[in-house]
Amino acid sequence: MSKIKVMDELLSNQIAAGEVVERCVSIVKELVENSIDAKSSEIKIYLKEAGLREIKIIDNGIGMDKNDALLAFERHATSKLYTKDDLFNINSLGFRGEALPSIASVSEVELKTCQENIGTLIHIKGGKILENKECEARVGTTITVTNLFYNTPARLKHLGNYYTELAHITDYINKIALSYPNIKITLNNDEKELLNTDGKGNLLKVINSIYGTEITKKMIKVSSSNDDYKIEGYISMPEVNRASRNYMTTIVNGRVIKNIILNKCINDAYSSYKEDTRYPIVVLLINTDPSLIDVNIHPSKQDIKFSNFEELKQLINNTIKDAIKDKLLIPKIEIKEETEEKYENYTLNLERDIIKEETNNYNNEYKEKIENLINFNNKEEDKYIEEIKEEKNKLPELYPVGLVHGTYIICENEKGMYLIDQHAAQERINYEKYSYFLSHPSNNTIDMVVPIIIELPSNEYLIIKNNIDIIKNLNIEIEEFGTNSYRITSHPTWFPKNKGEQVVRNIFEQIIKEENNFNLAKFNDHLAATMACKASIKGNTRITIEDMESILNQLRVCKNPFNCPHGRPTIIEFTTYELEKMFKRSI
């Protein structure tokens, strides 16, 4: 008896659904792409419980007649590709004909569509047709998906929680809105509007809708072309950067793609202007002849192959570098006017001498707050100093004698000569201090004179909301503030002076970056390392002998005085014997 059998169509569709329908965002992606291919000028996405309960897509595209509506649920049925030659000249987002049958095999789908004043309703559950009839005529297509993964419980169990699923959907819709500024796109979840673009073709207005005004003001327009490719879009000033590559949006012929080499090329163009571990915000639209790219190399169709790839990389690199060079790259300090408080014309400066002059004009309440800001480190550091006094010195007594290139401290003792990297050394000192504060949290906080307002894209806002307990456990007072914004009103007293907003943004970035893989111990370690780097003296900075002695004394009591948190050496020793040997004084 034969053991090999041809599987039935429903089973094959459920297997295909494993690749096509991974989570809620996969369904939204496939249906929105169908709406775009149907030449829609307006697409509305309605979610219930982040799509876990219901996903509804409404468009005003060309619609389908009754025969096409039914045929659309057959596997490999498509209106976008007919011959093998078409595979090498794809102008649509979808082309395989797998999305609708895959979705219908693992959920309940209701399709309403209209073409030539005749409406059609198709109702399918688990791949089986329950209804096929005429309905009211409305231009375009409405498709509703419910009971997702009801017949594949293993897949249902591995869906993310409410905020995770909603963040993924929002991130995708943001990117598709950037790809098609000429399409009016609306995203609603549980009757709350998350995105609404006007569809008038202004890409900068879409960027503003997603990233906010502060980011939009620091975007640079770029445009260039060669024989094969045309690129245009917006790139951020180097000072505007993030911890994740997710902010580099590359769009090829209207398709959002994820190409590691292309992202590296974009980031490399910024290499002289920012840290290597930071990434710019970029929206880059690449247009080319469809015959020069291959989109059929990955099930998600989010990676593609390019012909003449080196020429494209060179075009991108030169265009970004030229755009950056044309701009004045000196960051501007913007003074925000506070209208609700008594200090509305006050420019906050935490330098002690300036504060003492300026605060005379304000009432005692605000004087007290500012004085707290000046001295906020003292109590926390006293406790930490008591702890490290118990540490055994791991370095010998060292005597500073000078500085090389404003970076390396020269020291000596009876055993030889030492070179110390002043930044790496202070980075180690600060890292151990912040690690201690994070592992020994206290309730000591300080109220901010001017609250920090942080505006986020909607997908990131949701990730922070899902992890807000982490922030509160760090004794940061945080509250929602308007649409997609948070307000920070107090923070721990051990935060570095003048670095409150920077530290909070670093915390946000780490939570957003890790999301589902969040680990508190790793988070604390990375946060301590990041804050230590930001708070430490930089290279090529002249310091006094007293400053050198202070760094050496603190370094000597560190648990590991030999490396910075990133593994670089803090100190190099040249023994007296080695020095004499180099100068041929000794054999």
Q: What's the pLDDT score for residue 392?
A: 62
Are residues 138 and 269 both part of a single domain?
no
Q: Is the pTM of this model over 0.75?
A: no
- Per-residue CA distances from 558 to 367, 417, 418, 431, 564 (Å): 36, 20, 17, 10, 11
90 against 404, higher pLDDT: 404
pLDDT of residue 533 exceeding 50? yes
Are residues 442 and 351 both part of a single domain?
no
Q: Quick check: is 1 in a domain?
A: no
The answer to whether 324 touches 238, Cβ cutoff 8 Å, is: yes
Are residues 61 and 177 both part of a single domain?
yes
546: phi then psi, degrees, rounded to nearest 5: -65, -40
- Predicted confidence band at 379 (pLDDT cuts at 50, 70, 90)? low
Q: Quick check: is 412 in a domain?
A: yes
What CATH number is attached to the domain comprising 293?
3.30.230.10
How many domains does the chain fold into? 4
pLDDT of residue 225 exceeding 90? yes
Q: What's the pLDDT score for residue 385?
A: 64
556 against 275, higher pLDDT: 556
Mean of pLDDT over the chain: 80
Comparing 46-60, 69-83, 177-191, the range with the smallest average pLDDT is: 69-83
Are residues 340 and 311 both part of a single domain?
no
pLDDT (tens digit, 9 = 90+) per residue, 333-371? 443 443 333 333 323 333 333 333 333 433 343 334 333
Q: What's the pLDDT score for residue 527?
A: 78
| Token pair of 179 as six digits | 């790809």
3-state SS, residue 449 = strand
3-state SS, residue 117 = coil
Taking each helix axis as running N to C, give the angle between helix 520-535 and helix 500-514, from 0 to 180 degrees, rounded to the nearest 10. Answer: 140
First to last CA, the chain: 88
285 against 67, higher pLDDT: 285
CA–CA separation, 469 vs 464, rounded Å?
9
pLDDT of residue 93 exceeding 90? no
* Average pLDDT rounded to a whole number, residues 314-326: 88
pLDDT (tens digit, 9 = 90+) per residue, 21-56? 778 898 999 899 989 988 999 999 999 999 989 999
CA–CA separation, 559 vs 373, rounded Å?
29
Q: What's the pLDDT score for residue 517?
A: 65
CA–CA separation, 342 vs 363, rounded Å?
9
Last residue of some domain: 198, 231, 259?
Answer: 198
- Predicted confidence band at 100 (pLDDT cuts at 50, 70, 90)? confident
pLDDT of residue 223 exceeding 50? yes
* Average pLDDT rounded to a whole number, residues 100-119: 87
Structural domain for 363, as ranges: 335-373
Q: Quick check: is 471 in a domain?
A: yes
Q: Which of 284, 36, 287, 63 is nearest to 183 (CA)?
A: 36
Residue with structure tokens 């935490």?
A: 350
Comparing 9-23, 190-204, 573-587, the range with the smallest average pLDDT is: 9-23
- Strands 184-189 vs 42-48: parallel, antiparallel or unpaired: parallel
Q: What's the pLDDT score for residue 255?
A: 87
* Average pLDDT rounded to a whole number, residues 420-446: 86
Q: Quick check: is 297 in a domain?
A: yes
Residues in the chain: 587
353 against 563, higher pLDDT: 563
CA–CA separation, 210 vs 213, rounded Å?
9
Let me know if 489 is exposed, middle or buried by CB neighbors in 10 A (0-12, 13-18, 19+).
Answer: middle
560 against 123, higher pLDDT: 123
Sheet strand arrangement including 477-480: 445-455, 485-492, 477-480
Q: What's the pLDDT score for residue 337?
A: 41
* Average pLDDT rounded to a whole number, residues 447-468: 88
The answer to whether 255 touches 301, Cβ cutoff 8 Å, is: yes
What CATH number is attached to the domain comprising 527?
3.30.1370.100
CA–CA separation, 208 vs 304, rounded Å?
28
Q: Which helix (H) or strand (E) holds 479?
A: strand 477-480
Q: What's the pLDDT score for residue 230?
A: 95
Are residues 519 and 382 both part of a single domain?
yes
Q: What is the CA radius of gyration of the chain?
A: 30
Are residues 258 and 357 both part of a single domain?
no
Are residues 421 and 560 both part of a single domain?
yes
Last residue of some domain: 167, 198, 229?
Answer: 198
CA–CA separation, 251 vs 293, rounded Å?
13
Are residues 40 and 140 both part of a single domain?
yes
Are residues 161 and 252 both part of a single domain?
no
- Per-residue CA distances from 251 to 128, 284, 289, 470, 583 (Å): 37, 6, 14, 35, 61
The answer to whether 1 touches 83, Cβ cutoff 8 Å, is: no
Q: Quick check: is 584 in a domain?
A: no
Q: Which of 162, 167, 190, 186 is nearest to 176 (CA)?
A: 186
CA–CA separation, 199 vs 202, rounded Å?
8
Q: What's the pLDDT score for residue 121?
A: 93
Q: Which amino acid is at 151?
A: N
Sheet strand arrangement including 42-48: 128-135, 118-125, 108-115, 140-146, 54-59, 42-48, 184-189, 192-196
| Token pair of 271 as six digits | 């290499």
Are residues 363 and 321 both part of a single domain?
no
Q: Quick check: is 405 in a domain?
A: yes
- The percent of residues above 70 in pLDDT, for the chain, comes to 79
- Predicted confidence band at 3 (pLDDT cuts at 50, 70, 90)? low
pLDDT (tens digit, 9 = 90+) per residue, 382-414? 556 656 655 666 788 889 999 999 899 999 988
Q: Quick check: is 260 in a domain?
A: yes
* Average pLDDT rounded to a whole number, residues 447-471: 88
* Average pLDDT rounded to a whole number, residues 92-98: 62
Are residues 94 and 221 both part of a single domain?
no
Last residue of some domain: 286, 306, 325?
Answer: 325
What CATH number is attached to the domain comprising 31?
3.30.565.10
The answer to whether 176 touches 185, Cβ cutoff 8 Å, is: yes
455: phi then psi, degrees, rounded to nearest 5: -95, 135
Spacing of C-alpha 65 from chain mean position: 42
Q: Quick check: is 587 in a domain?
A: no
261 against 330, higher pLDDT: 261
Are residues 363 and 393 both part of a single domain?
no
